[in-house]
Structure 1
């Protein structure tokens, strides 16, 4: 079964050094978030037949802004993968805004 993206990616939470990226997929999958030469990964979990992943991105620089990409089972779901464009996901990597401090 195709484990491609249904909803997301969505930036769910950001603090000084971490962010959470949420997605919904068609089936069980591994989800990888990449940014600035680093990678974070999580497996999907299932609730009533729906598959979700929440990838915790750690070690962000306070006050930084970094583009990121999302892969589902090794396929880039935010625009391009090895020069192949996915028109159904016609958007580019998002930018995570990290606040200077949390109040």
Structure 2
């Protein structure tokens, strides 16, 4: 359970990075980030899968939230790649409205 909690906190940390940067920087600046937001989102998706495998039967809410948050990060990453500011703003708003994001 401690391993899953540590991984979950990493998803929250990276999600907050996505959110902060989406609010503070132009999309063109986000496109030049290394590693790319797309790569970060894929890594977080993998982490969410690990969390799901570890705690789905013990703490299904944590498992669900990990997947839900990474799904929003993936949509934000796709918007960054596409240069779609409206979609990025919508997804940032969706993430902002989730617990633990500000």
TM-score, normalization: structure 1?
A: 0.31
The normalised TM-score by structure 2 is 0.31
Bigger fraction of residues in helix: 2
Larger RCO: 1 or 2 (CA < 8 Å, sep 6+): 2
Relative to its length, the structure with more strand (as a share) is 1
